[in-house]
Amino acid sequence: MKREGSGRGTRWFVVIPVQAQPSPLPTTGAVTGIDMGIASFLTTSEGKHVPNPRHLKTSATQLAAAQQDLARKRRGSNRRKKAVSRVAALHGTVRRQRLDHAHKTALSLVRDHDLICHEALQIRNMTKRAKPVSDLENAGQFLPNGQAAKTGLNKAILDAGWGVFLSVLTAKAEKAGRELIAVNPANTSRTCPHCGHCAKENRPSQAVFDCQRCQYVGHADTVGAINVLRAGTALRQTAHAA
């Protein structure tokens, strides 16, 4: 048995361990690279964009109201226990929605592709707080470090559930006999897939890629996914040649 939440908001789930045997899917001959993002949950090298459902953001109004109600309750009271349960239940709903989206998205990729290449994202490092910057001219004071902007990005990354998705994708790919390759994400969205020119100026905005050398234009996330696929394919060829 597994318990989620507490008080009246408690939910119990029956967990039955099953030793699942690998069940390889028929080969498709298709390969893909995926670029994880915020505007779109992910983009494939074929140019398909999977929308970001933003489950936590969608529930933000309800959560804010529930948390405000909780803050007004006296500690130790039955009303406070009920308010705690309501907040926990809302968070539980968001977790289940995020997991359901991860399973459906991963299953679609695994069914349609023999090889899936993705970025080796260090999500824990990406969501760390920015380090404080001391003001050397004023003892005890600190300079702006961009934490306010980073806080919004951190919340968006965690809301997207990249870590949950990659765990689910790994499990499904292994069971289906698909090949999954993680590649270094550095400069994947700044490198031109046409001429190879790499520069931050190639990406003038979040969505636009505009090569400053050969004038190749495309969606920045699609360009990132294409480069992820190329890097993964190169790693695969090197491993097979060894």
Annotation marks residue 221 as catalytic: yes
DSSP string for residues in 105-155: HHHHHHHH-SEEEEE---HHHHTSPPPPEE-TTSTT-EE--SHHHHHHHHH
Euclidean distance between CA atoms 53 and 167, whole angstroms: 18
- End-to-end CA distance of the chain: give it in Å, rounded: 47
Annotation marks residue 114 as catalytic: no
Which entry of 119, 135, 174, 179 is annotated as an active-site residue?
119
Which entry of 35, 69, 114, 137 is annotated as an active-site residue?
35
Chain centre distance of CA 16? 28
Euclidean distance between CA atoms 168 and 12, whole angstroms: 22
Which entry of 114, 179, 210, 221 is annotated as an active-site residue?
221
Annotation marks residue 159 as catalytic: no
The set of catalytic residues is 35, 119, 221
